[in-house]
């Protein structure tokens, strides 16, 4: 036990890794169904991109970045989130107009690990660029919601809020800062410091909930357009049958959000980090990154959190058949047979080298195969013995029918 994985990282091993693959696959499928095309951006970007995009005053940028200098002295950072990189890619490619991108991959934040919070974690997300209308927000929220339901998370509730656009926020910011200043003595040290740097963020400080529960709310300072956008959003959520709750003090810790912000809260997930995903609108982000005027709305889901919130599900079989070589002279023949089965789409494996028949059956069981197929004397008549490893029932069938047996779902007729 000399080497361990770095602090806050996890190895994804079977059988759990099967669940990971499944969830990644269904994410690709679902986001494609909604018209999002796969995008991949680098795992590291220039440090400035995140400092500017995510916001200098955010927790993420202040202390959670995995930053390093490369051999040419460039300042780079392992991505703490993916939105900034996707925007950068869009701008760099000189794209214009609407763009719908979907992604999945690891992100990195340097923090003390705890349940639901790792230094390397896996995000799934989409970005809908170039769309102003609340229907875009709704589509993104619906996509994430449906995905979480498909994952078996049960009665997920979407917490939503609107924090207004740039002009709404100007009015609100100073009003909130004044209000907080009047109650300065009641606030935690950190909250006091934030009154200047980022008053919005005081709203979701756990330590200051009591004081802050009476504070003016962002929704009460929305302009005409912002209010209309928010009302359309709420009406749309109802219309689409999405369970939601207004969360007037939800602000989220990334500075680029405007108007809509939301989080997905699954039932019965009691970890302190209980949101399995979230997102919002970021109409000013493109300009911040020297891009064109470009509205956008996006969503990020934490795959690690989804999996621990979903609990364990009955694992599917890992293999369809495991070959048991009864006669050692038929080993190369067995390997050839395995190649044929694999080409036919059968998940098939066998041990390497000599093992007793008994040991091979043990291996078949341990590898979680649905059936064992014995290759022995019966091969001379073109036959194999196939045994259903759940029921124990076995029979001799033509070797050519093994693939069909698998397609039929592995049920051996009695």
Partner RNA sequence: GUGGCCGUAGCUCAGCUUGGUUAGAGCGCCUGGUUGUGGUCCAGGAGGUCGGGGGUUCGAAUCCCCUCGGUCACCCCA
Q: Does 204 bind RNA (CB under 7 A)?
A: yes
Find the binding residues for RNA in span 351-390 (CB under 7 A). 355-359, 361-362, 364-366, 372, 374, 376-378, 385, 387, 389-390
Q: How far is the CB of 218 from RNA (least distance, A)?
A: 14
What six digits make up the tokens of 226?
């912002």
The DSSP line for 311-354 is: ---PPPPSEEEEEEESSGGGHHHHHHHHHHHHHTT--EE--SS-
* Residue 116 in contact with RNA, rule: CB under 7 A: yes
Candidates 7, 21, 25, 74; binder of RNA (CB under 7 A) is: 7
Between the alpha carbon of residue 45 and those of residues 119, 274, 319, the distances in Å are 17, 28, 40
Binding pattern for the stretch 291-310 against RNA, x by CB under 7 A and - elsewhere: ---------xxx-xx-----
Nearer to RNA, 74 or 245 (CB): 245
Q: Is 112 in the site for RNA (CB under 7 A)?
A: yes
User: Which one of the spans 17-25, 104-112, 239-247, 286-294 is the region binding RNA (CB under 7 A)?
Assistant: 104-112
The CA-CA-CA angle for residues 200, 297, 227, to 5°, reads 60
Cβ contact 80:60 at 8 Å: yes
Phi, psi dihedrals of residue 101, rounded to the nearest 5°: -120, 145
Subset of 137-176 contacting RNA (CB under 7 A)? none
Q: Does 12 bind RNA (CB under 7 A)?
A: no
Please identify which residue in 46, 47, 246, 274 interacts with RNA, judged by CB under 7 A: 274
| Closer by beta carbon to RNA, 228 or else 316 | 316
Strand order through the sheet with 66-69: 44-46, 75-78, 66-69
Among 114, 167, 312, 313, binds RNA (CB under 7 A): 114
Burial of 118-136, coded b for 16+ CB within 10 Å and e otherwise, reads: bbbbbbbbbbbbbbbebeb
CB of 413 to RNA, least distance (A): 17
Sheet with 258-265: strands ordered across: 37-38, 99-108, 120-129, 296-302, 277-281, 258-265, 157-162, 244-246
Residues of this chain that bind RNA (CB under 7 A): 1, 4, 7-8, 58-60, 63-64, 81, 109, 111-118, 121, 123, 190, 194, 201, 204-207, 251-254, 263, 271-278, 300-302, 304-305, 326-327, 355-359, 361-362, 364-366, 372, 374, 376-378, 385, 387, 389-392, 394
């Amino acid at each position: 036990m000399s080497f361990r994985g770095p602090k806050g990282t996890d190895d994804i091993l079977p059988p759990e890794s099967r669940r990971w693959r499944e969830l990644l696959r269904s994410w690709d499928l679902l986001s494609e169904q909604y018209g999002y095309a796969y995008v991949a951006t680098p795992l590291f970007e220039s440090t400035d991109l995140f400092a500017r995009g995510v916001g200098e005053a955010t927790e993420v940028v202040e202390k959670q970045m995995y930053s390093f200098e490369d051999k040419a002295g460039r300042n780079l950072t392992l991505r703490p989130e993916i939105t900034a990189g996707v925007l950068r890619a869009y701008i760099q490619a000189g794209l214009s107009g609407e763009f719908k991108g979907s992604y999945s991959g690891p992100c990195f934040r340097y923090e003390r690990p705890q349940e639901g919070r790792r230094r390397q974690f896996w995000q799934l997300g989409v970005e809908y660029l170039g769309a102003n209308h609340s229907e875009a927000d709704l589509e993104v929220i619906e996509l994430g919601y449906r995905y979480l339901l498909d994952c078996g998370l049960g009665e997920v509730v979407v917490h939503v809020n609107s924090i207004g656009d740039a002009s709404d926020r100007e009015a609100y910011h100073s009003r909130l800062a004044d209000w907080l200043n009047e109650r300065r003595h009641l606030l935690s040290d950190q909250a006091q410091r934030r009154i200047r740097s980022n008053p919005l963020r005081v709203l979701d400080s756990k330590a200051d909930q009591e004081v802050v529960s009476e504070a003016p709310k962002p929704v009460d300072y929305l302009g005409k357009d912002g209010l209309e956008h928010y009302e359309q959003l709420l009406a749309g959520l109802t219309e689409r049958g999405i369970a939601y709750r207004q969360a007037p003090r939800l602000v989220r810790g990334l500075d680029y959000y405007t108007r809509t912000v939301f989080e997905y809260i699954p039932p019965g997930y009691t970890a302190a980090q209980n949101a399995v995903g979230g997102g919002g609108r970021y109409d000013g982000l493109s300009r911040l990154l020297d891009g064109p005027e470009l509205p956008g709305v996006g969503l990020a889901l934490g795959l690690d959190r989804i999996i621990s919130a979903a609990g364990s599900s009955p694992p599917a079989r890992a293999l369809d058949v495991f070959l048991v070589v009864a006669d050692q002279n038929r080993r190369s023949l067995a390997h050839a047979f395995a190649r044929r089965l694999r080409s036919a789409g059968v998940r098939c494996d066998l041990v390497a080298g000599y093992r007793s028949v008994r040991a091979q059956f043990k291996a078949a069981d341990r590898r979680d195969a649905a059936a064992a197929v014995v290759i022995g004397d019966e091969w001379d008549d073109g036959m194999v013995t196939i045994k259903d490893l759940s029921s124990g029932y076995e029979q001799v069938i033509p070797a050519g029918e093994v693939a069909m047996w698998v397609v039929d779902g592995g049920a051996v007729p009695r």
